[in-house]
Structure 1
Amino acid sequence: MRQWRFEISSRHGFPDVHGQMVLEDIQELGISSVKAVHFTHVFLIEAEFDGEFAQRVGEELLTDTVYQQFEIGRAPLPAGLENATVIEVHLKSGVTDPVARSVVTALQDMGVTPGSVRTARKFVMEGNISTADRDNIVKRVLANDCIEDVIFGSDAEPPSPHTEPYALKITEVPIRDLDDEQLEKLSKDMDMFLNLTEMHTIQNYYKQIGREPRDVELETIAQTWSEHCVHKTLTSSVELDHDGQKVEYKNLLKDTVFKATKDLNRDWCISVFADNAGVVEFDDDSAICFKVETHNHPSALDPYGGAATGIGGVIRDPMGTGLGAKPIANTDIFCFGEPDMELEDVPKGVLHPRRIMKGVVSGVRDYGNRMGIPTVNGAIYFDDRYIANPLVFCGNLGIMPKDKCFGQASKGDYVIVVGGRTGRDGIHGATFSSGQMTHEHEDIFSHAVQIGDAIVEKKVLDVLLQAREQNLYDAITDCGAGGLSSAVGEMGEEIGVSVDLEKVPLKYAGLNYTEIWISEAQERMVISVKPENVEKVTALFASEDVEATVIGQFTGDNQLTLKYDDKEVGQLGMEFLHSGICKPLKKAVWKTKDLSEPKLSEKDNYNDDLLAILSSYNVASKEWVIRQYDHEVQGASVVKPLVGIANDGPGDAAVIKPKFDSNKGTALACGMNPLYGDIDPYWMALSGIDEAIRNIISVGGRPDRIAILDNFCWGDCNKPETMGALVRACQACYDGAMGFEVPFISGKDSLNNEFVCDDGTEIAIPPTLLISAMTLVDDIDKCVTMDVKKPGNLLFAVGLTKNELGGSHFYKVNGKLGANVPTVDISASAQTAKRIYEAIQAGLVRSCHDCSEGGLATALAEMAFAGGFGIDADLRGLAKTDDCVETHAQLFSESNSRYVVEVEPANYDAFAKLMVNTPFGQIGEVVADKRLAISDAKQKKVIDADIDTLKEAWQKPLNW
């Protein structure tokens, strides 16, 4: 076949937007030698067609002729740029190329079947650029070593794709006679990330059955037993030494998080901790399912691809729950190093946090938007301890019929894989995500990064929903961590399954049977289909241009049998595979930290402190991120991420309307503050629960139908102190769930988020617990937002303000940590939440904002500039503890369980009557003058600032 090259660039007179963006990124590195960057998109098409058809391809398919031009072959460099630096970036062999796949489909529609299509990016840089600057630009801006190759010069040839076929070779791995040192070496050499005890368990199994393992069997065990898949740390037995007192847990998760849900025993919880997502009742006919995943390690290596497949993977969780749900909303929470970090301070093997952030946001944006799912809620937290281990939490909410909440494979059912094809991307993703990262991972684990294709997943989703309504399959799950090994292995756990690996559709030739089995290539689902429905289901998928291939059958022999070309390449007993892992006994230590409160002098004016907090990265506006997401698609968004007069105020929670024929809604929010964990992870966890609840109460959510999710991201839990912090957080989860009467319905953990620098220095993330919450909204017309609505309305602070500045943003901007971390009086907090809900339902509340990061002063500032009016506040009306006497504590304490509520004067008595026996007080009113003025106990103005100035400080830091 002939090789055609097409180069697409901006037409003369139109801006080269991509080139300009690259130039700005280069300038941010401090490189001034580059004067301009010209960008070209390259398509390499191997196909049999003539020049006339090539013109059609260029004009009709590859180019938007309004603002682009194309060249067949290599475009000559413009006059004067003959000595410019030319760089092309190509995807490595085997890396998924979604754009190329779309071109293949389009060419087929045009009547041509290409041999291959590949894409590349070409950059022409003007200026006298040194080799050192060029290499720095390539590494920091243009390419990712993990997934891309770089070639220099205008005549360089692109790398050739890998297409060599695979010849079957069954590999045995001697294990029965290995000593301890050799077992540990085997685990490391095969990237199994299993400890010596687990390797001994495997060794003993093969001694008992009298043979050596085959490679695919060891790989299957490693995936199934990985921390990512089996959560062996959180399900381990634990001995905790808490300040000298011994506490024991037989199973940490079952004795805390699971126990709370079991003890609460809510009848509206349909399926919890048993499927890919937690499921709760929505109405008489429908159920809502919710899942939040992490995709941290892959996002550290390839931010765009890692985050895109993170959101793509979690979308497949509701799709693979019960008999399949329709995804209706996305949520995302990110943790990064601070984006203004100096380049020389970034450890070797680590991408700059600004680049990570841009890549992660782009990946989530592109995948979610292309799937047509609104991203309605999220948060971003910055701390330099996330520099090497960014945290990428992605969540999805789905709706499904109540009679489709459960599925079960049966003996005789066929195993059908649907959707994307299998490639080498994502191999060892589950095990890689379970281990500690080092400066070498960007080279060693490039294969662990998956590349997603949202269009394929959207097609899979659409046809799956059709198949579900026609009752064409009995069970479904997604191919996530561990690929087919986990998906098929888990689906056949109770009955046994046999798989013919050569039948699995591949992206390209050359994959061996082990790679096929453990690849985490994206956009794949596995369904169980009765023999009589196979023809119908494959025909339905074919009609929508989605591949569906029979690859095996459920056998009833309780064995996992793997074949290739009718030869058995692996076999494992299901009981050993899923129950054979030995649960460790973990040692945990927690010693209460010896911290003290800093002595800060009182000030006459706190304007500068408020401005500093508003402009700190953790409080500042995330509008640059939010605006990139489509939060309106599907037309169900009621309360959106940004609210207020200019639609740019920070909303507390999202509300969506899942069914168009019902006024019932679902509220969605989150809570997280890792800085509290530096003082005590117990109060960090409880504060996260309290914050998530406050957020959904603030928009009108029901307090009696709240379901929550936990996502633990921790460091190396083999260290007793780190494990002790995890146990403290788990204890808080139990206490919080029971006290608030909010069951956990799903969760996920990502441990070993530590990085070893080339000099041996370890960087561990702070203990981080994300709490996600959802609840019902009986009538979406009663929802409120946080922006003040009208001058003359009264403002109340509801909840008790305490002397709790430990871990606060006020302390942080002043370089302090403190000791008085915010605590939670669960009973009082639950009562306050109930009263706020009742006030909203009674129509007494015009606006409501939870009081969290930055305290009362920050909440008032946000309400004022979101609504476009001023606020005149007086701290004398604040309900506070006796020790909360200092003005800065009253302004900036981050005490939990507090709300700022706007009430019309006519509703004063009704609101006050409803709040009886709840700590509250009138603290001011909304005014027409666009200023925030706060007076202290002596009626002295301690804050007096123009709201436009406050808003500018809040918006500027991330106004990229």
Structure 2
Amino acid sequence: MILFFRTQSKSVIATEVNHALSDAEINELCWLYGDATYLQNEETLQGYYVGPRREMITPWSTNAVEITQNMSLDGILRIEEYFPVSSKEADYDPMLQRMYDGLDQTIFTVNHEPEPIKRVEDLEKFNEEEGLALSPEEMEYLHKIEKQNGRPLTDSEIFGFAQINSEHCRHKIFGGEFVIDGKVMESSLFSLIKKTTKENPGKILSAYKDNVAFAQGPEVEQFAPANQSTSDFFRVKPIESVISLKAETHNFPTTVEPFNGAATGTGGEIRDRMGGGVGSWPIAGTAVYMTAYPRLTEDDGTTPVLRDWEDILPIRQWLYQTPEQILIKASNGASDFGNKFGQPLITGSLLTFEHQENGEKYAYDKVIMLAGGVGYGTKRDCLKGEPQAGNKVVVVGGDNYRIGLGGGSVSSVDTGRYSNGIELNAIQRANPEMQKRAYNLVRALVEEDNNPVVSIHDHGSAGHLNCLSELVEECGGKIDMSQLPIGDKTLSAKEIIANESQERMGLLIDEKHLDHVKKIAERERAPMYVVGETTGDAHFAFVQGDGVKPFDLDVAQMFGHSPKTIMKDETVERKYENVSYSINKVEEYLQRVLQLEAVACKDWLTNKVDRSVTGKVACQQCQGEIQLPLSDCGVVALDYRGHKGIATALGHAPQAGLASPEAGSVLSVAESLTNIVWAPLADGMDSLSLSANWMWPCRSQKGEDARLYSAVKALSDFCCAIGVNVPTGKDSLSLTQQYPNGDKIISPGTVIVTSGGEVSDVRQVVSPVLVNDKNTRLYHIDFSFDEQRLGGSAFAQSLGKIGSDVPTVKEPQYFCDCFDAIQEMIRRGWILAGHDISAGGLITTLLEMTFANAEGGLHINLHDIKGDDVIKKLFAENPGVVIQVADEHKEEVKEFLTENCIGFARIGTPSPDKRTLSIADGDWKAEFDIDAMRETWYKTSYLLDRKQSMNGMAKKRCQNYKKQPIEMKFNTDFTGTLQQYGLDADRWKTSTPNTHHQTPKAAIIREKGTNGEREM
């Protein structure tokens, strides 16, 4: 029976119950729903409503039902909210919602019985019908298994094999053999990446064998309850830490359903760090969004913003979402998950791009959504244990639903290749609150003196099958399907085994520790199920309650002998027209560049995401007295009292990569490193490790596979040359969107490089915000040792070009010398402010250094910068930096740079009394109104914010952001120290039963799945 309640906002909450409720229970629900009105005797409501699809129980419902259970309201099965609309033409999201013509007792009814187990006789037909993307070689391999086993394979076995052996999961192209121009390449792509760690292992402790890389970290303090299974006092103890680094993409899901696609991408990446070794702690996240042009409109909502570079390609009949919708919804999803889970998002990037030349169409119609992050753990736990026969298989997290079916295989092919239904079934849903509960259990186990976890793995692509098979891969195992939590009773065996319902972790636990783990799980309200055990027979089976085995294969048959991928391609030389320009149009060019989403203000992104939760964030995006997102380096502390921490930064250069895949790779690494250089790294560049994430349109057209090989080899060679390892990464090699009319839009081959490393002192991070002091000097340091070139730049993009003349790093050792010099000057305290040169070039760097100030400007002279082309000096994106140095250190700085053979150019000084950027180069002079340029830079952010904010708040933000400089005011006697109040942070060490009552006490009260309690 379904009961209806109308809320004060006029929405309707439908509540499914399995028995009649008393008046008192009805009143409790009315209170719970915000003083809602019970629509008594109304079993059907007239009118049009938008609400969740009937077959998808929302995370909101899952949490709402549990709240009623905690209130001792029994018999409530499902709770969903429906919103009245004026007509059936009203907008709604078909990925998550549907239109209802009235609400009745059937809105939760799904007329679907569980499908029986199928013995598949026609493998080829099943492959196409289910969208499995199995190759002819793989189907031949499956036919061999059928002969070995003497029976047809089941639908669960074939479906599962396709998921766990998909390109998405097994990275067959990266491990395959490349034949370029008829020549077999000596190394696979994996070998090239692994070479970086082999030659420069640095501090790496775990690489390529887990879903996350670990590097040696410093000794830090662990702040945790003394007893995890009950209420207890917090204690501090020293631990030997390891630092984790991870990034992965969620491109196909975000293209189809951006909110949940990006949210589950963020959640999955967090779980990867949770599941590193035998458990570790995520601490901060990153995000990157790349789409086609959003084609924004003015305030009236219909007049297009005039940006002629967006006219290079015509508007398409977008398959699922427009680029504007994807940008807003995807960033909402990633932000929402981090906000609810309790992970700050401390750095990121954004790029929109389309281009057509030489008969080729490039655009991010199949989008890139990258979620990454850093974390830490204990050195004790950074490697997985050895499973023994009899270990118990435990699943922690939510129920099974018809969610994310076939995501691995569908993600491995062109979006649009399969039917709408297959692609929709592959999309997941996010439940961050459930994931936080699962994490709290993992966190507690890792924080204990003796971690009982033998092995741990997250549930992602291919669901239980992938996760649990990897747990037992070394020895075999048996899963009792009757113990798996089923949220949808209509699921078939295949759907139970392979659905990708999120927020679940799989663990191996020795039986003797089960009761203790259960006690912690109950305290955290983390659903925990003992679902099987390891067997030691190298066999893996799912067994139903009636003894039937829908999945029953040898482990070796699942993983061991899948055919090797061979990639054959030819080198195709591509030339792109160089950009032409006039020195008389500098301000026009600048206006264009500042409006590009990649260059423009990201305020619309940072306003909606938590950038400080955990209490350990030392540097995030927003800087300066008016707090604008300008910092490209994120830094977190590793504990609450020490000063050691982790820095992370990003880099990418896909436009340059179109002209030269080698240069694109080198520039991506260089940008990541010139972004992270502002944090004082414990051992300079030796502290760093990289994650390289490859997104490429493989097999889309001749030459792309060869370009991928060139790009990977260039990155490998450059990283080996500068001594930096790449111990982790991911690939997504089907970056093509296929439209119903047969058109294909290819996304540019892209590598996103995430750097991470130990910080010696989080208090010494250099800000990009100019110190408004005329007694200082600005210096330009070029890291590239190359001529200034405009190819692949934001300047070229804004003029509808790519250009073939792209910069690179000519001398890797010189790049290292420049990096080390900046690090040393930071340690000596000589650098007041610093900013890298990348998207938008030097002129954008200089403007951004002034934007977060309410007053003051810059006087710049470019004479000392080599070259005679002013446009190139201003807009070229050769890797480099601008630093600000106080006059008292200028002679020391010049002497230091000269002694270390670092080229530099003095380029200017602040002008505190004038709000302009004045630039001269020989006879050429120009002056730019900084506030006017900032308005241009801010406008793109406002136009996007206007589409995601309500009640005119974006307009108010746009009008007021520069009028509210931050000013900290404290009482004159406030020191901010415990000593001022007669307290000692280490008093717990010396307190005794007799003195314990004399020290202040505080209790933290928290509910399951919440966050923020540790920093309190």
TM over 0.5, shorter chain: yes
Do the aligned residues in 1 keep the contact of 2:480 with 2:532 (CA within 8 Å)? yes
Amino acid paired to 1:547:
P
Q: 1:143 corresponds to which residue?
A: 93
Partner of 2:20: 48
* SS of 2:320 mapped into structure 1: coil
- Alpha-carbon spacing, 1:163–1:104, altered in 2? closer, same or farther (3 Å): farther
Asked if the contact 1:452/1:523 (under 8 Å) is kept, the reply is yes
* CA distance in 1: counterparts of 2:179 and 2:279, whole angstroms: 40
Deviation at 1:504, TM superposition (A): 0.7
Instruction: Trace 1:131-530 onto structure 2 (pairs within 5 A).
Output: 135=89, 137-138=90-91, 142-144=92-94, 146-152=95-101, 159-162=107-110, 166=114, 169-174=116-121, 183-241=123-181, 246=183, 248-254=185-191, 256-266=192-202, 268-284=203-219, 285-340=240-295, 345-384=315-354, 385-386=362-363, 388-408=365-385, 409-438=387-416, 441-468=419-446, 469=448, 470-530=450-510
Residues of 2 paired with 1:558 and 1:797: CA distance? 61
Higher mean alpha-carbon deviation, 339-348 vs 319-328, is at 339-348
> What is the deviation of 1:43?
3.6
Distance in 2 between the 1:238 and 1:337 partners? 30
Alignment of 1:651-690 (within 5 A): 651-690=631-670
Distance 2:573 2:614 in 1: 49
Report how far residue 777 of structure 1 moved: 1.4
CA distance 1:893–1:927, change in 2 (3 Å): same
Does the 8 A contact of 1:861 with 1:932 survive in 2? no
Distance 2:477 2:43 in 1: 58
Give the deviation of 1:163 after TM superposition. 8.3
Deviation at 1:235, TM superposition (A): 0.9
Amino acid at match of 1:821: V
Q: Is 2:700–2:746's contact at 8 Å kept on the other side of the alignment?
A: no
Offset at residue 631 of structure 1 (A): 0.7
Distance 2:802 2:126 in 1: 44
1:535 Cα deviation (Å)?
Answer: 2.7
Q: Tell me the alpha carbon deviations over residues 913-935 of structure 1, each in whole angstroms, 9 at most, x when there is no partner.
A: 12111111100001113434343
Please give the alpha-carbon distance, in whole angstroms, between the structure 2 residues aligned to 1:407 and 1:96. Answer: 35
Instruction: Name the structure 1 match of 2:844.
Output: 858
Q: Tell me how far apart the structure 2 counterparts of residues 563 and 708 of structure 1 sit (CA, whole Å).
A: 42
| Counterpart code for 2:149 | I
Aligned to 1:16: none
Code of the residue aligned with 1:159 in structure 2: it is I
The alignment status of 1:537 with 2:520, answered yes or no, reads no
How far 1:955 sits from its partner (Å)? 0.8
**If the length of structure 2 is used for normalisation, what is the TM-score?**
0.84
Task: Please give the root-mean-square deviation of Cα atoms over the aligned residues, in Å.
Answer: 2.3
Q: Check if 1:7 corresponds to 2:6.
A: yes
- TM-superposed CA distance for 1:361, in Å, is 1.3
The 3 A distance-change label for structure 1 pair 184 and 539 is same
- Distance in 1 (CA, whole Å) between partners of 2:242 and 2:833 is 30
Instruction: Name the structure 2 match of 1:24.
Output: none
Question: Is it true that 1:821 corresponds to 2:806 in the alignment?
Answer: yes
Matched, 1:116 2:77: yes
Q: Distance in 2 between matches of 1:115 and 1:109?
A: 12
Letter of the aligned partner of 2:413 in structure 1?
G
Aligned to 1:846: 832
How many angstroms does 1:903 deviate by? 0.5
Q: 1:537 to 1:304 in 2, by over 3 A?
A: same
Answering whether residue 947 of structure 2 is matched by residue 947 of structure 1, we say no
Contact 1:654–1:667 (8 Å) recurs in 2: yes
Secondary structure in 1 matching 2:83: strand
Aligned 8 A contact 1:697 1:837 in 2: yes
Deviation of the 1:700 alpha carbon: 3.2
Q: CA deviation at 1:691?
A: 0.3
Greater displacement, 555-564 / 810-819: 810-819
Alpha carbons of 1:247 and 1:171: their partners in 2 closer, same or farther (altered >3 Å)? Answer: closer
Distance 1:339 1:9 in 2: 36
Which of 926, 945, 956 is matched with 2:910 structurally? 926
The SS at the match of 1:107 is: helix
How far is the alpha carbon of 1:89 from its aligned partner?
A: 2.1
| Structure 2 CA distance for partners of 1:505 and 1:370, relative to 1, 3 Å | same
- Counterpart CA distance in 2 for 1:674 and 1:70 is 55
Answer yes or no: is the 8 Å Cα contact 1:257–1:744 preserved in 2: yes
SS of the residue 1:867 aligns to: coil
Give the distance between the partners of 1:535 and 1:900, measured in 2 at CA: 58
Q: What does 1:728-747 correspond to in 2, within 5 Å?
A: 728-747=710-729
SS in 2 for 1:423: coil
Q: Which residue of 2 aligns with 1:30?
A: none
Change (3 A) 1:308 1:441: farther
Please report how far the alpha carbon of residue 743 of structure 1 lies from its aligned counterpart in structure 2 after TM superposition: 0.5
Question: What amino acid maps onto 2:863 in structure 1?
Answer: R
Task: Summarize the Cα distance change of 1:198–1:936 in structure 2 as closer, same or farther, 3 Å threshold.
Answer: same
Partner SS, residue 784 of structure 1: coil
Q: How far is the alpha carbon of 1:73 from its aligned partner?
A: 5.9
Indicate conservation of the 8 Å contact 2:477/2:535, yes or no.
yes
How far is the alpha carbon of 1:382 from its aligned partner? Answer: 0.8
In 1: Cα distance, 2:909 partner to 2:40 partner: 68
The 8 Å contact of residues 414 and 550 in structure 1, kept in 2 or not, is answered as yes
Distance in 2, Cα, partners of 1:158 & 1:571: 38
Report the 3-state secondary structure (helix = DSSP H, G, I; strand = E; otherwise coil) of the residue aligned with 1:308: helix
2:553 matched to which residue of 1?
Answer: 572
Q: Which runs of 5+ in 2 are unaligned?
A: 220-239, 303-313, 355-361, 946-1016
CA contact (8 A) 2:836 2:845 kept: yes
Q: Does residue 811 of structure 1 match 2:796? A: yes
1:835 paired to 2:815: no
1:664–1:777 contact (8 Å) kept in structure 2: yes
Within 5 Å, give how 1:66-145 maps onto structure 2: 70=37, 72=39, 87-125=48-86, 135=89, 137-138=90-91, 142-144=92-94
Q: What residue number does 1:937 align with?
A: 921
Deviation at 1:439, TM superposition (A): 7.2
| Aligned AA (2:125) | K
Aligned residue in 1 for 2:223: none
C-alpha distance in 1, partners of 2:786/2:40? 69
Contact 2:117–2:492 under 8 Å retained in 1: no
Q: Which moved more, 1:714-723 or 1:510-519?
A: 714-723
Report matched runs for 1:899-914 at 5 Å: 899-914=881-896
Query: Contact between 1:100 and 1:117, CA under 8 Å: does it hold in 2?
Result: yes
Aligned counterparts of 1:453 and 1:163: Cα–Cα separation in 2: 26
Q: Tell me if structure 1 keeps the 8 A contact 2:25–2:73.
A: no
Q: Return the TM-score normalized by structure 1.
A: 0.89
3-state DSSP class of the match of 1:185?
A: helix
Structure 1 window deviating more from structure 2 (446-455 vs 434-443): it is 434-443
Q: Report the CA distance shift for 1:70/1:262 in structure 2 as closer, same or farther (over 3 A).
A: farther
Aligned residues: 887
CA contact (8 A) 2:117 2:494 kept: no
Q: CA deviation at 1:441?
A: 4.3
Q: Distance in 1 between matches of 2:20 and 2:377?
A: 47
